[in-house]
Amino acid sequence: MPEFEPKIVAFVCNWCTYAGADLTGTSRIKYSPNVKIIRFPCTGRIDFMLLLKAFANGADGIIVSGCHPNDCHYTSGNFHAKRRWIMFKELMDFMGIDMNRITFSWVSAAEGAKWAEVVNTTSARIKELGPYVSYKELVNRPIEEEVKNE
Amino acid sequence: METTHKLLRKESLEKLYNHLSEQRRIYAPVKTSDGKVEYRYNPDFPDVTFDHIRSTLSVKNLVFPKVENLLYYTSTKTETTVTEIDINKTKEVVLWGAHPCDTAAFDILRSIFCWDINDEFFLKRLEKLIVIGLGCKSSDEYCFCTSVGLSPVSSKGSDILLTPLKNGHFRADILTEKGKKIAASGIDLFENYSNDEILVTEVKQKFAHDQVTGKLATVFEHPFWVENSLRCIGCGACAYVCPTCACFDIQDETKGKNGRRYRSWDSCGFGLFTIHTSGHNPRSVQSQRWRQRLMHKFSYMPERNNSLGCVGCGRCSSGCPVDMNIAEQLETLQSI
Amino acid sequence: MNNLNVKARKLLETKVVGVVIGFETGPTGIVRPAFITDPSKADTLIYDEHCTQNLAVYLTKPEVKKLGKIGIVAPLQVMRGIMMLISEMQITADDIIVLGISSKGELLEISDISVMQGLIEKSELSNPLKDKELLDKLTSLSREERFKWWQNELSKCIKCYACRQACPLCYCTRCFVEVNQPQWIQVQSNTYGNMEWHILRAMHLAGRCISCGECGRACPVGIPCHLLTMYLADETFRYFGVRAGTSDKMKSVLSVYDPGDKENFII
Residues of chain B above pLDDT 70, percent: 99
For an interface test with A, the pick among B38, B66, B241 (most A C-beta atoms closer than 10 Å) comes out as B66
On the question of pLDDT at B226 being above 50, the answer is yes
The residue-averaged pLDDT of B241-249 equals 96
For residue range B279-308, what is the model confidence (pLDDT) as tens digits?
999 999 999 999 999 999 999 999 998 999
Percent helix, strand, coil in chain B, to 5, is 30, 20, 45
| ipTM value | 0.92
On the question of pLDDT at C152 being above 80, the answer is yes
The residue-averaged pLDDT of C9-19 equals 94
∠ CA A144-A54-A43, nearest 5°, is 150
Question: pTM for the complete prediction?
Answer: 0.94
Chain B residue set in contact with A, beta carbons under 8 Å = 25, 38-41, 57, 61, 65-69, 262
The residue-averaged pLDDT of B229-237 equals 94
Domain boundaries, chain A: 8-148
On the question of pLDDT at B13 being above 70, the answer is yes
On the question of pLDDT at C1 being above 60, the answer is no
For an interface test with A, the pick among C143, C150, C223, C242 (most A C-beta atoms closer than 10 Å) comes out as C143
Q: Which residue has the higher pLDDT, C2 or C34?
A: C34
pLDDT given for residue B135 in this prediction: 95
Residues 167-186 (C) with a CB less than 8 A from some CB of B: 173-174, 178, 183, 186
On the question of pLDDT at B2 being above 70, the answer is no
Domain boundaries, chain C: 2-122, 129-255
Q: Rounded CA gap, C186 and C198, in Å? A: 12
Which band of pLDDT confidence, cut at 50, 70 and 90, is reported for residue B176?
very high
Q: Is A143 touching B (CB cutoff 8 A)?
A: yes
Q: Rounded CA gap, B239 and B296, in Å? A: 12
On the question of pLDDT at A150 being above 90, the answer is no
On the question of pLDDT at A106 being above 90, the answer is yes
**Distance in Å, alpha carbon of C30 to nearest chain A alpha carbon:** 29
Neighbours of chain B (3+ CB pairs under 8 A): A, C
On the question of pLDDT at A149 being above 50, the answer is no
On the question of pLDDT at A104 being above 60, the answer is yes
Q: Provide CATH code, domain A8-148.
A: 3.40.50
Closest partner residue to B262 (CB to CB) among C26, C160, C188 is: C188
On the question of pLDDT at C183 being above 90, the answer is no
Q: Rounded CA gap, B5 and B173, in Å? A: 5
For an interface test with C, the pick among B54, B139, B224, B240 (most C C-beta atoms closer than 10 Å) comes out as B240
| Residues of B with Cβ-Cβ distance to C186 under 8 angstroms | 251, 253
Residues of chain C above pLDDT 90, percent: 81
For residue C236, give the 3-state DSSP assignment. Answer: helix
Answer yes or no: do C258 and A79 touch at CB < 8 A: yes
Distance of CA B43 to the CA centre of its chain: 21
For residue range B65-89, what is the model confidence (pLDDT) as tens digits?
999 999 999 999 899 999 998 888 8
| Residues of A with Cβ-Cβ distance to C232 under 8 angstroms | 87, 90-91
| Residues of C with Cβ-Cβ distance to A86 under 8 angstroms | 235, 239, 261, 263
Beta strands in chain B (DSSP E): 6-8, 25-31, 37-41, 67-75, 80-84, 93-98, 129-134, 160-164, 170-174, 191-192, 248-255, 258-265
Q: Rounded CA gap, A105 and C206, in Å? A: 22
Q: Give the strand order in the sheet containing C107-108.
A: C31-36, C19-25, C70-74, C96-101, C107-108
For residue A88, what is the nearest residue in chain C, using CA coordinates? C203
Q: Which residue has the higher pLDDT, B3 or B101?
A: B101
| Residues of A with Cβ-Cβ distance to C188 under 8 angstroms | 143
**Distance in Å, alpha carbon of C197 to nearest chain A alpha carbon:** 10
For residue range A50-68, what is the model confidence (pLDDT) as tens digits?
999 999 999 999 999 999 9
| Residues of B with Cβ-Cβ distance to C190 under 8 angstroms | 67
Answer yes or no: do B236 and C217 touch at CB < 8 A: no
For residue range B108-160, what is the model confidence (pLDDT) as tens digits?
999 999 999 999 999 999 999 999 999 999 999 999 999 999 999 999 999 99
The residue-averaged pLDDT of C202-207 equals 94
Q: Rounded CA gap, A15 and C214, in Å? A: 44
Half-sphere exposure of B213 (CA within 13 A, CB side): 20
For an interface test with C, the pick among B230, B316, B333 (most C C-beta atoms closer than 10 Å) comes out as B230
Closest partner residue to A147 (CB to CB) among B38, B40, B65 is: B65
